Amino acid sequence: MVSTKELIEQLQRLLHREGSADETPKKERKDVALVLSSGGARGMAHVGAIDVLLERGYHIRSVAGTSYGSIVGAVYASGHMDEFKEWMFSMDRRRMLQLTDFSFGPSYFVKGDRIIREMQRFVPDQNIEDLPIPFTAVATDWKTGREVVFDHGSLWTAVRASISIPGYYKPLMHEKMILIDGGLTNPFPLNRVKRFKNDLLVGVNVSGHDYAGIFKRKRLADAMKRENSIVYNLFYKMMPEQSGLGLNFYSMINQAMSISINANAHRSIELYKPDILVDIPMRRYGGSDYDKSEAISKIGRAKMGRELDKFLGVGHEVTK
């Protein structure tokens, strides 16, 4: 009979072997652990990036995402990307308003239930552990400020928690926690994706906005107007500015989150160093420009194509 000590030693050897460095050159690897950042409507670039990965013959074996990255990740992991693209590419501002269930509560403007119900038409709720590939979403515990990781349980509970932008969406009450947007704690969860042996760590970060540059412009309000976002039209105009500085409730919340998300995303990049990083500074589009989804997706296609070319060091034509 094998002793307990021998069993432990065998297990340690097995774990060491499974975790040891693989000799397969990275350029020859085709299996991917994919990470998708937060970023609102800019996250539609994730869709184009995924398309190019698949067209180039890569196999996405797991996916993790935060906020809008969790939406795209959930849709991909469940196998419903085509329906999602058709729906989002046909989105216009009228439809966006119809999907926005305004509720002007004490701490939020939008309940956020209607958009989830709409997506459940083509991605029914299911347990994360039953998905074809591993999926992880990240939210934030409002009381403790800690990251909350969803890798099992209801798929849409995880997504709804992850997208709960404070001050905009109603927080999600779950297991005695008040959950808000995961972008506050881990907007680019490179450390949360399930990685298998031989996997390339591929990250798409759409939180690379030039936030500091905004303040160098004449006024923050002018920069937001140039985004022509539906959020500006709905909220910014109806709230008074402070001392002509372009500051009000919406602009303060938006800018504070942007600064935090951008800093945390780049800290994650420095710590976990993805094999392929698609870093997309979105200066042309706002976080609520869902009616421009197809154009944003094309940016993701182009950037992923360029980064794959750079990674491989060969002369592939950039995917348009």
Give the catalytic positions in this structure: 67, 181
Domains observed in the chain = 27-210+274-312 (3.40.1090.10)
21 has pLDDT over 90: no
Residue 119: partners with Cβ closer than 8 Å, 6 or more residues away: 71, 75, 84, 156
CA distance 122 to 124: 6
Compute the average pLDDT of residues 35-51. 97
pLDDT digits (tens, 9 = 90+) for 184-195: 999 999 999 999
In this prediction, residue 104 carries a pLDDT of 76
DSSP track, 294-306:
HHHHHHHHHHHHH
154 beta partners? 127
In this prediction, residue 283 carries a pLDDT of 74
pLDDT digits (tens, 9 = 90+) for 227-251: 445 555 555 555 555 545 556 666 6
Instruction: Report, in angstroms and rounded to the nearest whole number, the Rg of the chain calculated over CA atoms.
Output: 21
Which tokens in the block code for residue 54? Answer: 């698949």
What b/e string do you get for 246-277 counting C-beta neighbours within 10 Å, with b at 16 or more?
A: bbbebbeebbebbebbbebbbebbeebebebb
pLDDT digits (tens, 9 = 90+) for 63-86: 999 999 999 999 999 999 999 999
CA distances from 39 to 31, 204, 216, 223 (A): 25, 11, 22, 17
Residue from 158, 199, 204 nearest 51 by CA: 204
